[in-house]
Amino acid sequence: MILYRQLSPIIILSGMAFFLLSGCTKDVKEENTNIPLRIRQPAHFPKPVYTFDNNPPRRTVYELGKRMFFDPILSLDQQVSCGTCHAASAAFADPRGSAVSTGIFGRKGLRNTPALANLIWYPHFNQDGGINHIEVQPVAPINDSLEMGVGIANAVSILQNHPEYPELFARAFDSDSVTAARILWAFAQFMGSLVSDNAPIDAYYRENKPLPDKAIRGKSIFDEYCAGCHTGVLQSDFSFKNNGLNMGSHDIGRAEITGESQDEGRFRVPSLRNVAYTAPYMHHGQLNTLKDVIEAYSSSIADHPNLDPGLPVGGFGFSSQQKEDLYQFLLQLSDHSFVNQSF
Ligand code: HEC
Ligand code: HEC
């Protein structure tokens, strides 16, 4: 009995040493699994909506999400990845500049591809706010027959039967079993890491660094006419508004989700971060350039039963100087380092 008690710690210790040593040579897997990933939360931003509580950021999970994001095998024709429509060079909007998205077999989608940035601060997704959780968002394009069309159940089996993915899942989740939940956690970590906080407007908010003169005038015009909707550092209050610029689009927008007639023709106010990179503009890509957008707010706001009361029918009637100043201000929302990152 006594002997046993004395021996047992040694047995336990040598057992642990064996485990640790064999762990070292077995693979780098266990080490990698636990490398935490820091997802930036800039001090001048509000509190994020998505806090990764059930999905702790780790390097291996992020890497898996990144690989899937750029991998066309998750589409029915094996040609379209998330990155086909959302590319860094276009601030994760469509690098092809199409008015509406183009998915599998060249099929035209229904809406313009939005830019992606700062998504963990979003209370809802898509231009009608139809999805309310970042982890659920990728199910939409994977299932959509105009986008990737492969279906989430199929995606699980494609990845499970792939020569490399099960190992990547094992590194990320300690199990090579591919599940929809794990796919979605990994996507959420990659998407959540797309933090854009390095535009001149950030330096202005963060450390009071002045904007160029032209842009300062533009900022006061923006603050007066635009910031009521395109609010704060995220440049959106995330409400649903009709801005009088639907220009012949028959998309009913928010009403698609709520079924309410007062929501017809309303779309979520988009963030204007990196807007210089994301042409064309509006839910249907109905305006080609930023100058067209400014001109439209100046002279083409159309009446609509749900037009926001802050927007005058006909337009704001800006002078050419005001238009130029506004344009200069919108350029200050560009985060060049964000757009120039390579993956
Ligand atoms: C064929 C082009 C296309 C593909 C492929 C695609 N998307 Fe999108 N994405 C869009 C369009 C268009 C929307 C806007 C849909 C809407 O507003 O109804 C969108 C919306 C989003 C949004 C919401 C953005 C916002 O502003 O609310 C996120 C996040 C997103 N996509 C991520 C992804 C991920 C992750 C994948 C891959 C699994 C993916 N997308 C694949 C075109 C695409
Ligand atoms: C009443 C709210 C409201 C006001 C005020 C407002 N906007 Fe908008 N803005 C919106 C909505 C809603 C959309 C999206 C419309 C759509 O998708 O069709 C939008 C879209 C845009 C877009 C296109 C973004 C993209 O990625 O497609 C730009 C640029 C823009 N607004 C700039 C401005 C400027 C500049 C002003 C001031 C002159 C302004 N907005 C005033 C609500 C508003």
For 53-78, write each residue's pLDDT tens digit: 999 999 999 999 999 999 999 999 99
Distance 141 CA to ligand 1 centre (A): 6
- Please report whether residue 18 resides in a domain: no
Atom index in ligand 1 nearest the CA of residue 104 equals 1
Atom index in ligand 2 nearest the CA of residue 294 equals 35
Domain end marker among 192, 209, 241 = 192
Domain end marker among 144, 163, 192 = 192
If you take atom 12 of ligand 1, which residue's CA is the nearest one?
Answer: 113
- Please report whether residue 245 resides in a domain: yes
Gyration radius of the chain over CA positions: 24
Residue type, 217: R
- Whether residue 188 is found in the same domain as residue 209: no
Provide, rounded to the nearest whole percent, the portion of the chain with pLDDT above 90.
88
Answer for the pair 148, 104: CB distance below 8 angstroms, yes or no: yes
Q: Is the pLDDT of residue 14 over 80?
A: no
| Residue 107: other Cβ atoms inside 10 A | 15
- Whether residue 182 is found in the same domain as residue 256: no
- Whether residue 237 is found in the same domain as residue 318: yes
Answer for the pair 239, 268: CB distance below 8 angstroms, yes or no: yes
Lowest mean pLDDT segment, chosen from 15-24, 37-46, 74-83, 292-301? 15-24
Could you give the CA distance from residue 265 to residue 251 in angstroms, rounded to a whole number?
Answer: 7
- Please report whether residue 227 resides in a domain: yes
Quick one: average pLDDT of 225-238? 97
- pLDDT tens profile 258-291: 999 999 999 999 999 999 999 999 999 999 999 9
- Whether residue 158 is found in the same domain as residue 241: no
- Whether residue 333 is found in the same domain as residue 207: yes
pLDDT band at 16; cut points 50, 70, 90:
very low
Could you give the CA distance from residue 303 to residue 300 in angstroms, rounded to a whole number?
Answer: 9
Residue with tokens 């109905």: 286
Quick one: average pLDDT of 214-228? 96
Average pLDDT, the chain: 91
- Whether residue 249 is found in the same domain as residue 156: no
**Number of domain units in the chain:** 2
Q: Is the pLDDT of residue 134 over 80?
A: yes
Nearest CA among 284, 278, 228, 279 for reference residue 100? 284
- Please report whether residue 34 resides in a domain: no
Answer for the pair 196, 118: CB distance below 8 angstroms, yes or no: yes
Could you give the CA distance from residue 233 to residue 271 in angstroms, rounded to a whole number?
Answer: 9
- Whether residue 214 is found in the same domain as residue 326: yes
Q: Is the pLDDT of residue 177 over 50?
A: yes
Q: Determine the structural domain holding residue 249 and report its residue range.
A: 200-339
- Please report whether residue 36 resides in a domain: no
CATH of the domain at 304: 1.10.760.10
Atom index in ligand 1 nearest the CA of residue 134 equals 29
pLDDT band at 7; cut points 50, 70, 90:
very low
pLDDT band at 26; cut points 50, 70, 90:
very low
Answer for the pair 121, 113: CB distance below 8 angstroms, yes or no: no
pLDDT band at 24; cut points 50, 70, 90:
very low
Using a 6 Å CB cutoff, which residues line ligand 2? 127, 225-226, 228-230, 241, 243, 267, 269-270, 272, 275, 278, 281-283, 293-294, 297, 308, 310-311, 326
- Provide the whole-model pTM: 0.91
Assigned token pair, 76? 């029915």
- Whether residue 134 is found in the same domain as residue 244: no
- Whether residue 187 is found in the same domain as residue 219: no
Could you give the CA distance from residue 217 to residue 238 in angstroms, rounded to a whole number?
Answer: 25
Could you give the CA distance from residue 334 to residue 21 in angstroms, rounded to a whole number?
Answer: 50
- Whether residue 290 is found in the same domain as residue 174: no
pLDDT band at 33; cut points 50, 70, 90:
low
- Whether residue 246 is found in the same domain as residue 301: yes
Domain end marker among 171, 192, 213 = 192
Q: What is the pLDDT of residue 32?
A: 54
- Please report whether residue 21 resides in a domain: no
* Cα 287–Cα 290–Cα 294 angle in degrees, nearest 5: 85
Answer for the pair 155, 74: CB distance below 8 angstroms, yes or no: yes
- Please report whether residue 53 resides in a domain: no
Question: Which phi-psi region, left, alpha or beta, contains residue 31 (left: φ > 0; alpha: ψ -120 to 50)?
Answer: alpha
- Whether residue 118 is found in the same domain as residue 140: yes
The terminus-to-terminus CA distance of the chain in angstroms comes to: 61
Quick one: average pLDDT of 220-232? 97
Which listed ligand is nearest to 135 at the C-alpha? Answer: 1
